[in-house]
Amino acid sequence: MATETGEVVKESAGMPQLDFSTFDNQIVWLLITLVVIYFVLSRVALPRIGSVLAERAGTITNDIAAAEDLKQQAIDAEAAYEKALIDARAEAGRIVGETKAAIQVDLDKAIAKADAEIAARAAEGEKAIAAIRDSAATSAATVAKDIAKDIVSAVAPGKIDAKSITAAVTAKMKG
Amino acid sequence: MATEAHGAEDGGLVFHPMDQFIVKPLFGNGDVGAFTITNVTLWMALTVVCIIVLLVFGTSRRAIVPSRSQSIAEMMYGFVYKMVEDVTGKDGVKYFPYIMTLFMFILVSNFLGLLPMAFTTTSHIAVTGVLAMMVFLAVTILGFVKNGAGFLGLFWVSSAPLALRPILALIEVISYFVRPVSHSIRLAGNMMAGHAVIKVFAGFAAIAAISPLSVLAITAMYGLEILVSGIQAYVFAILTCVYLKDALHPSH
């Protein structure tokens, strides 16, 4: 180290930091550098980064608001769906009741009509039966008269007229 | 570079820890004038380039979802912005670009200085002194412009007993004027010392027996220096904020 001493002294006691001859150079370049950095930062970089950060914060806030909105919409939609379901059930119940009532009315009407028809048919049938009975009775009388005539003519031919036989048979049948 | 400056030595240990700080012209061997292009010019220009690349080109896409460089730039911005806002309050935010300029310059210069063969501009008292004096003058002028004579209240501790106040005022005045000195020497000293120590360890590496230890020590010191580089930039910026707060709100 001893051999160096001479040269070290020449370089201002070994501390380049204390070599005042370079100060003006350093200060000039430092000021230029700082001015350049300041203008680059204040004109371009910082406004840009600031706007990006603000934009991001805005986007995030908007997204959160939108998500909140959508959630509310979903809740509303669910409520509406539930309500629609309940309404539909009630409506269905009402319709079933109405239909039942309508069917009951129709049914009652149909039953009444059927009853009336049955009654009418029964009456008709009875009438027909009565007619048949009457005609049967008339036929029996005719047959009885014919047979009586035949018998009379067979027993005493040409003696007794048909009229009196008929009257006699009629009287007999009434009796 | 070291041997160039001192000439060849006949074996033995060669320690030139301070040679890395020599300011010399990039072209030729003339004297260093005010506008001579020197290694200072080169490394300050590189600092500017790095800052532009990071903060301007890195953010050119203005992406909502940031790329890596953009998120680094945003992190820097957010870090310094929050620091200015926290320390000086809302009315200090308009000085944010100045503090960002100082912070970015010191941070990038410190980190560039850690490259092998690099020249560390912030290790020079001329550079840090100018930075500190700029802060000191700006803060003092701003204090008087904003508060008038009320700025002197900074030195008059109204919460102390009346008898003590003149003494405290004297101490406050001295500490106020020491600020730029400590502000500048802290940064330059930290940068210079770390780099010099690394160089000294590097000198020991010439001895084969010690060289593994030397390499280990250099590695450890380098890690420490990375930490110091970031911390010193942060310290410089936050102290600037504190001084700015004193100028804006001089009452204790």
DSSP, residue by residue, A15-38 = -GGG-GGGHHHHHHHHHHHHHHHH
Q: Least CB-CB distance to A26: which of B62, B77, B127?
A: B127
C-alpha B32/C-alpha B26 separation (Å) is 10
**B41: which chain A residues are within 8 Å (Cβ-Cβ)?**
29
With a cut of 90, say whether residue B159 has pLDDT above it: no
C-alpha B31/C-alpha B13 separation (Å) is 30
H-helix segments, chain A: 5-10, 23-39, 46-155, 162-174
Q: Least CB-CB distance to A26: which of B47, B96, B126?
A: B126
With a cut of 50, say whether residue B108 has pLDDT above it: yes
Q: Do B48 and A41 touch (CB under 8 A)?
A: no
Instruction: Return the domain boundaries, chain A.
Output: 2-174
| B92 contacts B248 by C-beta, under 8 angstroms | yes
Range name among A37-46, A82-91, B95-104, B157-166 with the lowest pLDDT average: B157-166
User: Any chain A CB within 8 A of the CB of B240?
Assistant: no
In this predicted model, what pLDDT tens digit does every residue of A50-62 receive, in sequence order?
A: 999 999 999 999 9
pLDDT score at A152:
79
Q: Do B74 and A52 touch (CB under 8 A)?
A: yes
For residue A154, name the pLDDT band (cuts at 50, 70, 90). Answer: confident
User: Any chain A CB within 8 A of the CB of B229?
Assistant: no
Q: Do B34 and A21 touch (CB under 8 A)?
A: no
In this predicted model, what pLDDT tens digit does every residue of A4-44 receive, in sequence order?
A: 443 433 444 478 888 888 888 899 999 999 999 999 999 99
| Chain A residue at shortest CA distance from B19 | A16
Q: Shortest CA distance to B76 belongs to which of B58, B95, B49, B94?
A: B58
